[in-house]
A and B are shown apart, each in its own frame.
Chain A
Amino acid sequence: DVKVTQSSRYLVKRTGEKVFLECVQDMDHENMFWYRQDPGLGLRLIYFSYDVKMKEKGDIPEGYSVSREKKERFSLILESASTNQTSMYLCASRTPGLAGNEQYFGPGTRLTVT
């Protein structure tokens, strides 16, 4: 079974802190994604990565950065956390191209910024 894991299920941070969210997948997928999910807004793409050391901005990249040094790991970084970044963060991975229509999601990290 494909497994996507995220470093924490729940996280509480203070405003201004630097926050790292880690995601690891075990299926050798080239593509990895970070979404945030808020009530009524669905899943919004923050950043994605086609392969190691490659990254592309999604629809809402402001306030976030990412790192992909190894194929299996994709990190989301909040440089200076703010209360409007309180959300559920979901990581996903897939095989690229037409064969990769299925994304596999991690369990999510519920981040609260106080």
Chain B
Amino acid sequence: GQSLEQPSEVTAVEGAIVQINCTYQTSGFYGLSWYQQHDGGAPTFLSYNALDGLEETGRFSSFLSRSDSYGYLLLQELQMKDSASYFCAATRDKIIFGKGTRLHILP
């Protein structure tokens, strides 16, 4: 079987840092991706980790530990426009998504 677990909701304050965790159980795993989806919109790609460690893209960073079957997305200097759902996804021959984490940002 294959599954990804992530928190259903996270709340943070504007300007702060928030971490969204993802644990996975999947075979034939190439890497872990993260997608962002605003209400009414389509998911858009944020980042991909093929190797263990941290990948940084501007305010967003993503981390993977294959030995722990664990990854996270780190969002820094939160802005109101970051309010969205975030999905981790296991990439193999197909891409399997977690159920998503709804990020609420308070002013």
Contact = CB atoms under 8 A, between A and B. Distances in A.
Contacts of A43: 43, 87, 97, 100
B87 A101 contact: no
A58 B96 CA distance: 10
B59 interface: no
Contact of B100 (A42, A58, A105): A42
Interface residues of A, number: 24
Contact of A45 (B30, B35, B94): B94
Interface residues of B, number: 22
| Among B30, B94, B98, B100: residue with most chain A CB under 10 A | B94
A44 B97 CA distance: 7
Contacts of B44: 105
Interface of A: 33, 35, 40-45, 48, 56, 58-59, 90, 94, 96, 98, 101-108
